[in-house]
Amino acid sequence: MESHGSTNVARIENPGGQTVYPDVVQPGEWLRVLTLLANEADAIALRYFRASDLHVTSKPDRSWVSQADLEIESTVRDILVREHPGVGVFGEELGAEAGRGAVRLIIDPIDATANFVRGIPIFATLLAIEDGDTIVAGLVSAPALGQRWSAARGGGAWCGDRRIRVSGVESLADAQVFHGSLAGIEAVPQTARIPSLLAMTRRQRGLGDFYQHALVAEGCGEIAVDPIAQPWDVAPLVVLVEEAGGRATTLEGSRSIYEGSFVSSNGLLHETALSAFR
């Protein structure tokens, strides 16, 4: 048995001479894999960010996809096939590809593409490892902000090399709440209920996307609401918020990334936040 690259993945040779990679990677070890992928993604994103010739198209849902999105996801997939050929992939732009086992990478090559194409530095590559029904490791890399957030099950939540934790605020009247769009093409019926929640809080900021949930994990606010969310939008944020001591669910309270919405909190105010949408 020997290590493969820098990730300490067990490798054995079967009688036919073919290399086999069993699913023995521990959650913390996956962070080294995600860091390698994020390094490549950051370089591509920064090369295209604020470029005058950035090519952007509109998808059927009217969201944008840029050549940076496509190049990042394609590059990450190529690296994963080379380094971990048995791991599946589920990405926003190129769909799902099954692996040989229960482990797969979930990737959003650029979360907040609308920010990216408008030159706003609040965007990130989101990477998560899903093992069966559990997100075991996640990394959020925001290169234009110079920040990364990461977490692995049992290993705590981190911003760079600084361990982070949710706030201890217990009263909604003292809470700071983050949210995304309140109208326009990103609005859904549940969006109309956000103002009633905001009205009960001390302070509100419309940050949206990955950043609001990372700030909840850091203790900078108590609640962040995404009334509409895809799995790749939130996969690493689940483990980040939970390892920071908070809660992450759908608007209905389900602990799933596949049911179309996402709420993160410091845990103390989670049920109160959800009640606004019931």
Residue 213 sits in a domain whose CATH number is: 3.40.190.80
Query: Comparing 11-20, 37-46, 176-185, 233-242, which segment has the lowest mean pLDDT?
Result: 11-20
What local confidence, expressed as pLDDT, does residue 7 receive? 34
- Asked if residue 243 belongs to a domain, the reply is yes
Indicate if 180 and 150 belong to the same structural domain: no
| Helices and strands (H and E) in the chain: how many | 7, 17
Domain that holds residue 31: 12-155
Q: End of a domain among 127, 155, 183?
A: 155
Indicate if 148 and 238 belong to the same structural domain: no
Residues 6+ apart with CB under 8 A from 9: 3, 21, 24, 25, 29, 84
Query: For the domain that residue 61 is a member of, what is the CATH number?
Result: 3.30.540.10
Sign of torsion over alpha carbons 98, 41, 33, 261: negative
Sign of torsion over alpha carbons 214, 218, 221, 222: positive
Indicate if 200 and 227 belong to the same structural domain: yes
Two tokens at 44? 């591509």
pLDDT in tens, 165-219: 999 999 999 999 999 999 988 889 999 999 999 999 999 999 999 999 999 999 9
- Asked if residue 7 belongs to a domain, the reply is no
* Residue 18 binned pLDDT confidence (cut-offs 50, 70, 90): very low
Residue 132 has, within 13 A of its CA and on its CB side, a CA count of: 3
Work out how many domains the chain is built from and give that number: 2
pLDDT at 246 over 50: yes
- Asked if residue 205 belongs to a domain, the reply is yes
Indicate if 83 and 114 belong to the same structural domain: yes
What local confidence, expressed as pLDDT, does residue 8 receive? 34
What local confidence, expressed as pLDDT, does residue 24 receive? 52
pLDDT at 11 over 90: no
Indicate if 179 and 142 belong to the same structural domain: no
- Asked if residue 2 belongs to a domain, the reply is no
Indicate if 132 and 47 belong to the same structural domain: yes
- Asked if residue 218 belongs to a domain, the reply is yes
Indicate if 150 and 18 belong to the same structural domain: yes
pLDDT at 14 over 50: no
Which secondary-structure segment (H or E) carries 235?
helix 231-243
What local confidence, expressed as pLDDT, does residue 64 receive? 87
pLDDT in tens, 104-121: 999 999 999 999 999 999
